[in-house]
Amino acid sequence: MFQATDVITKHSESAGYHERVQELPLPSNFSWGTATAAYQVEGGADQGGKGKSIWDTFSHLQPSRTNGEHADVACDHYNRMPEDVDLMSTFDVDVYRFSLSWSRIIPFGGRKDAISDEGIAFYDKLINNLLEHNIEPVVTLYHWDLPQALYDRYHGFLDTDEFRADFIHYARVCFSRFGDRVRKWVTFNEPYIISIFAHLNGTLAPGHCREQGTDTKTEPWRVGHTIILSHASVVQMYASEFQPTQEGSISIVLNGHFYEPFNPQNQADIDAAERRMVFYIGWFGDTIFLGQDYPIAMREYLGTRLPTFTSEEIELLRQTAQLNAFYGMNHYSTKYARQLTDPPTDDDWTSNIEEGPVNSDGLEIGPASAQQWLRVAPEGFRKLLNWVWKRYRLPVIITENGCPCIGEKDVQVAINDTFRQRYFGLYLDAISRAIYQDGVDVKGYYAWSLMDNYEWAAGYGPRYGIVHVDFETLKRTPKGSAWYLRDSFKSRRQASS
């Protein structure tokens, strides 16, 4: 990462500092909603027969890698779900994107293991409650919480055949039990994060990293390989067994920053910015949405570290590429990319590229939120929408976008979250420009997150919610951003009709 001493930062030229929200129009049928993940909000760790996940284990490790905090209770959504759905309804949301806890549905996770009737019943009630409030359920099958039993048996993603078979079974159970009411499915949330942050950097469960003695040269790429093939197999199964009668759609959610060159006059940095996009997004996007082998740049740089597809697997990718109905985009910020010249580490995953918030002229990409990496950079968001649209030509749904505000431990600061409201407004304006000026097909926007929750390795520190949660009393209090989004979408969609 860039050091603060590298350059003297300049604020005055950064668009993110002075740009004003214009409340630009959005299509009348544009959908808006909120998003959460099961482990981050549900709690109920020992209720309803739920089995342990790798996050239950990871968050209780000593010494802690999660600020000494865990999500055994979290927001207690498991017990307060009706209240939370009622709350969403007051914001006039169209959609609620949530994930299923695999170990709540199949406590030990495997294809020969028992299914929990209580787990099924909880999600039945949630889906029915949403529909009664005219809120569309958008369901993610996997949001980072692998059943611990599957990790104990074969280390999860590191055994492609075993994981793939168990994931197909789990997906089939979910389609069978919930597919009559769910019309939009996501297989995996952010495979890049699963691969790199959980199996190279070690900051997320199961915490594999060089210091733990794991093979960081090859593991992340093996994990990504497993995810790609498991996704394709589930898409194929859904299309043949369920889609004809359920008439739903399915895809995957990829996260990604946009990258600008550290020095826009330096061809090496220009190339680095594009190559960073390919390593981050093209890794999964090209294989899944284009149905082809890994990008050439990855093959050339990684060599034998990158797995190979068999001819049968390439055919599976080719056949299922056209079955993905949308591009799910999780996006938060933009960074500068700088090509390094010193030799990389033997487990480098970036193509020897450094990234940071400040360029060679000392210009910050935008003002920082409560997390320094997350900067307000709406123009980068627009550029990412264009990059994805031109490469994959799929309708885009913004499945996550949001930010934490500085000082939100103070409840009054949190509720009067003007920084977040401005962030949302600028990013929605960027979507409008992408649609009406650039021709990008963007279908919807799901704010991250419905409420303050357990932010993985960061514990309960950063607050991304549009609803404040007091983690001692679990009281929910809508923030200004909740009402801003409600009113903004109403006016933006009316303006286009």
Active site residues per annotation: 190, 400
Amino acid letter for position 238: Y
Residue whose entry in the numeric block shows the structure tokens 């600020």: 67
Other Cβ atoms less than 10 A from the Cβ of 296: the count is 11
Helix axis angle for 311-321 and 219-241, nearest 10°, is 50
Alpha helices in 155-218 (DSSP H): 160-178, 191-199
d(Cα 350, Cα 355) in Å, to the nearest integer? Answer: 9
Sign of the torsion formed by the C-alpha atoms of 258, 327, 278 and 215: positive
CA 130 to chain centroid: 22
Rounded to a whole number of angstroms, the distance between the first and last alpha carbons of the chain is 46
The DSSP line for 391-431 is HH---EEEEE---PPTTTTSHHHHHS-HHHHHHHHHHHHHH
Stated as kind and residue range, the H or E segment containing 442 is: strand 442-448
Q: Name, in order, each residue with C-beta under 8 angstroms of 191's C-beta and a sequence gap of 6 or more.
A: 224, 227, 228, 231, 252, 254, 284
Contact (Cβ atoms closer than 8 angstroms) between residue 283 and residue 228: no
Q: Name, in order, each residue with C-beta under 8 angstroms of 28's C-beta and a sequence gap of 6 or more.
A: 493, 494, 496, 497
d(Cα 480, Cα 419) in Å, to the nearest integer? Answer: 10
Helix axis angle for 219-241 and 191-199, nearest 10°, is 150
Contact (Cβ atoms closer than 8 angstroms) between residue 358 and residue 7: yes
Q: Name, in order, each residue with C-beta under 8 angstroms of 410's C-beta and a sequence gap of 6 or more.
A: none
Stated as kind and residue range, the H or E segment containing 186 is: strand 184-189
At residue 118, what are phi and psi to the nearest 5 degrees?
-70, -40
d(Cα 341, Cα 362) in Å, to the nearest integer? Answer: 21
Contact (Cβ atoms closer than 8 angstroms) between residue 189 and residue 182: no
Contact (Cβ atoms closer than 8 angstroms) between residue 116 and residue 48: yes
Exposed e or buried b for every residue in 111-121, given b needs 16+ CB within 10 A?
eebeebeebbe
d(Cα 285, Cα 235) in Å, to the nearest integer? Answer: 15
